[in-house]
Amino acid sequence: MNTIKQIEETAQRLVPLYSHEDADLPDRPLWAHPELDQIIEALRILSDVLFPGRHIPEPADFKSFFIKQLKNTAELLQEEVEKALPFRWMGAAYENDRKEPEDNLYIASNTIINEFIGRLPHIREMLIEDVKAAYNGDPAALSYAEVKLAYPGLVAITSHRIAHELYTLDVPLIPRIMSEYTHSLTGIDIHPGATIGKGFFIDHGTGVVIGETCHIGNNVKLYQGVTLGAKSFPLDEHGRPIKHIQRHPTVEDNVVVYANSTILGGDTVIGAGTTVAGNVFLMESTPPRSLVTRSENGVHIRTREVHGHGLGI
């Protein structure tokens, strides 16, 4: 068989394999989903708005700069949000998980974009505290500019705070696309559903994983290789993981988790002021101001009021 004939035969065999790729979207074209390049460009523009000077020189007229950039963002994102919204009711596996369709996708997406744009000052306020946390938490950081321009942890939390607001506005697909793009850049994997308080700092960063239902308080510091994950995946009657339940830990205010530690479980609460040493595997809650270290039998948890004041590392 010559090459042209082989190509034609293969193409013919491929066609039926794509006709039911999205069984829950039978009436939509195969490519009727948000465009990755547009979403990534919107994320880049928003990063420039939140940190002018990271990619372009700081403008002389901030207001005009913001108006121009926000108009560009709104135009890029509204079209992609409009494409994404049908996945609210058509992307669920089962009928009882699906939402009612929107009557007018343009109006719905416009409402979402207006609400999202209005939240950007709050995101900026949170990121200011994140920069301060990195500067104050790392003796190697010699300026705020160094943190802003060079720290992958700040790239990751900036992307997360953007994606999280879209997630809370119930935008399908787009928040996860943003987070996974940033994951590919930084090695830091933060699900957009995770709730993270102010003054958050990831030092070094590579290999950090933060799950969808994590709740992280204020002034929390994580080192490289930390996982805040799920202990198990409860299954429904069809044998599929149950969605929208608490699966990941709660980390309260002023907690430090050192490198390569793993904390699992939706009922696991790390009390405020706790320090978790490196290479700890933890599936139980801790009281406030605990010191958690490895032991021959697993982990050792003690409170610092009785046993001292920390790791000294």
Residue 310 has pLDDT above 50, yes or no: no
Degrees to nearest 5, angle at CA 245 with 184 and 241: 70
27 or 65, higher pLDDT: 65
Its pTM stands at 0.90
Instruction: Extract the tokens encoding 296.
Output: 């021959």
What is the per-residue pLDDT across 210-249, written as a single tens digit (0 to 9) for each? 999 999 999 999 999 999 999 878 888 888 888 889 999 9
Q: Which domains does the chain have, with CATH numbers?
A: 33-188 (1.10.3130.10), 207-313 (2.160.10.10)
Higher pLDDT, 19 or 32: 32
**Cβ pair 182, 162 in contact under 8 A:** no
Higher pLDDT, 180 or 100: 180
pLDDT of residue 28: 62
Name the pLDDT band for 311 (thresholds 50, 70, 90): very low
57-86 tens-digit pLDDT: 767 788 999 999 999 999 999 999 999 998
pLDDT tens for each residue of 164-199: 999 999 999 999 999 999 999 999 999 999 999 999
Tokens of 160: 């997360």
Average per-residue pLDDT for the chain: 89
